[in-house]
Structure 1
Amino acid sequence: MRLLLIEDEAALRSSLKRQLEADGYRVDEAADGEDGLYQASEYPVDLVVVDLGLPKLSGLSVVEKLRADGRTLPILILTARGSWQDKVKGLEAGADDYLVKPFEYPELAARIKALLRRSLKASSDVMRFGTLAIDFSAQQVRLEQVAVDLTAFEYRMLEYLVRERARVVSKQELSDYLYPHDEDRDSNVLEVLIGRLRRKLDPDGSLAPIETLRGRGYRFVLA
């Protein structure tokens, strides 16, 4: 899962980024509202954590603009203790949840996990497609009850394709999700990794879980 953390307090932002990445998330960061809105609008993000008190553009404005643009991704706002008006305004603007500062990291992690689970429209952390099972909480994949050894990169690729399984995901979109924004991307590398993922998920060629649509991209096709 790819998260966007919009927080102007450098020490807090660095600490949260480190802990979230240790939990297996891919974390992008922004120190002000303008940059945060740009990243949330231009890149594929699964969830946004946004502080309401931001420079350049307030967190409330970020939430309002994302919702006005039709973005439905989960948004968790961070608020100062006692500012109940800000909580109400944030929720009315379209945020899904809020957390009051100061907070302990486990509470943030639990809120994020709950929002992501809800956005996946799954009643549990595990989704099953025939003999293939994906545990989003543990970030594990099993095929016929046997664990599939995926790299973190391969897992993120599979997770995104599964979440977006109702549509075709272009190579550009998949690259934007997987790679840092300023990193050079090689489409040949992406094709090799897709091929490797296919072989791990479908060693005998009976499932064909990932479809390639020439000139358009990839689609996860198991139901």
Structure 2
Amino acid sequence: MSGRQGDAARILVVEDDRELGQLLLRLLRGAGWTAEPAADGQAGLHLALTRRYDLLVIDRGLPAIEGLDLLARLRRTGVRTPALVLTALGTLADRVAGLDAGAEDYVVKPFEVEELLARIRALLRRPAGAVTAVPLGAAEFDLITRRVTEAGEVRATLSGREADLLRLLAGAPARVFTRAEIVTRVFPDAGAETLVDTYVHYLRRKLGPGVVRTVRGAGYRLGTL
């Protein structure tokens, strides 16, 4: 998507609550954007697959197709349009599930109007390609090809598990993830925390010792290449 702002930006609002949906449309249009509604997940899926949008605003508790299922289906089919999940489900597990499904942001109802609009502006400011690539200092990690490139040169191609681990760390570069969190998020079928250390070693071997920083007694966080 283009990262456009102003009246050129097109936003799809997938919300089954008619009153809230109408409120969101008025807010977005009042801010100068073009906003279109979808009343359930099936309609949202059809519109997102057949029309071009700069942002998707998706509720979770949708009829026909649940919001996170809708988002996951779009990501699997290659739709990389930035998505903001807007929902009453606000626990840590809910927020993690939303981000893991492919959302760029997660806002809990009831929300402050100015904060919601500010988050939308921030998503629309993202340059084209930002959804599929993560910056790593002077390098870039492509989430689709799993390649890390710098100055146009491929530094490394990661395995699926290596890419999942780097994506997790790069998604919250200031956060320290415990080994238990990483197992839950990246290696749920394995369950062994020693596997985390193994894949940290693999990333360091491919990208340099500084790419993952060890925080003694706490876990790991993104470092520098």
**TM-score bracket relative to the smaller structure:** 0.5 to 0.7
Alpha-carbon shift at residue 81 of structure 1 (Å): 4.6
**Aligned CA-pair RMSD:** 1.5
The match for 1:187 is: none
Structure 2 counterpart SS, 1:118: coil
Q: How many residues align?
A: 122
The match for 1:25 is: 33
Q: Percent identity?
A: 48
- Is 1:6 matched up with 2:14? yes
Counterpart amino acid of 2:73?
A: K
Alpha-carbon distance between aligned partners in 2 of 1:113 and 1:41, rounded to the nearest angstrom: 23
Q: How has the CA–CA distance of structure 1 residues 104 and 121 changed in structure 2, closer, same or farther, with 3 Å as cutoff?
A: same
- Is 1:108 matched up with 2:111? no
The match for 1:68 is: 76
Counterpart amino acid of 1:95?
A: A
Counterpart amino acid of 2:60?
A: L
Counterpart amino acid of 1:14?
A: Q
Counterpart amino acid of 2:112?
A: E
Q: How has the CA–CA distance of structure 1 residues 8 and 119 changed in structure 2, closer, same or farther, with 3 Å as cutoff?
A: farther
Deviations 1:136-174 (A, max 9, x none): xxxxxxxxxxxxxxxxxxxxxxxxxxxxxxxxxxxxxxx
Gap regions ≥5 residues in structure 2: 1-8, 131-225
Alpha-carbon distance between aligned partners in 2 of 1:119 and 1:33, rounded to the nearest angstrom: 27
Gap regions ≥5 residues in structure 1: 123-223
- Aligned 8 A contact 1:5 1:28 in 2: yes
Counterpart amino acid of 2:78?
A: G
The match for 1:139 is: none
**Normalising by the residue count of structure 2, what TM-score does the alignment of the two structures yield?**
0.52
The match for 1:157 is: none
- Aligned 8 A contact 1:73 1:119 in 2: no
Q: How has the CA–CA distance of structure 1 residues 17 and 75 changed in structure 2, closer, same or farther, with 3 Å as cutoff?
A: same
- Aligned 8 A contact 1:50 1:77 in 2: yes
Alpha-carbon shift at residue 119 of structure 1 (Å): 3.6
